[in-house]
Amino acid sequence: MTNMVPSMRKAPKYLARFQSTVDRLIREVQNLRRSFAAMCSTQGKYSSNLFIHVAAKALQTDVLIRLIRIFEDGEAASFWYLHRCEPRKVAEGIDIAKLEDFSRRLKLIRDKVFVHIDKDAVFDPSQAYRDAAIRTWEIDETIETLWMVLDRLYLEQNGMPFASLAESTLDSLIEAFMRDFAELSER
């Protein structure tokens, strides 16, 4: 076909995986936001309900493992995969160096105590958390950055935003969970 229109270029080989990764990660970050909001709604609050104590710890674990999964590097279909495929598009409007630093510190926790029980870290597992020095506000900021990027990418590929108005802000999710937590604690 010699009369091919120049604008009809072949899609990059990675496009299908890129799109599927955006779809998968935005759902992962949606669940991450919910877990983080639920976790924040219980912090600093006392309940004699043992179930709530266990659930609060499970929420912390869920937040960490979801962040680890999202920032996994290498062969994984993760945030870093999206960034390698389309660096300018993914990095638009965000501080990639800040995410790289967060990801590096998170990997320290992953490798030393969270996913593996390191033979040296077994003597002082808390040291890995101290060395990583990840703060709650950084997790909050990272989650919202991921949400913004993935919602933008989702909109570009699907023609509509993923986010519902009910979950548009992390603060609105935290408020909803605080209301539900207070109700549950009264029982």
Share of the chain above pLDDT 90, in %: 57
pLDDT of residue 171: 79
pLDDT of residue 1: 45
Q: Which residue reads 């609105």 in tokens?
A: 172
Residue 173 has pLDDT above 70, yes or no: yes
Query: What is the pTM assigned to this prediction?
Result: 0.84
Non-local (6+) Cβ contacts of 153 within 8 A are 22, 26, 82, 89, 90
Higher pLDDT, 179 or 35: 35
Q: What's the mean pLDDT in 69-82? A: 93
> Cα–Cα distance between 99 and 107 in angstroms, integer?
12
> Cα–Cα distance between 3 and 38 in angstroms, integer?
58
Question: What confidence tens digit (pLDDT) does each residue in 16-39 have?
Answer: 999 999 999 999 999 999 899 888
> Cα–Cα distance between 169 and 131 in angstroms, integer?
30
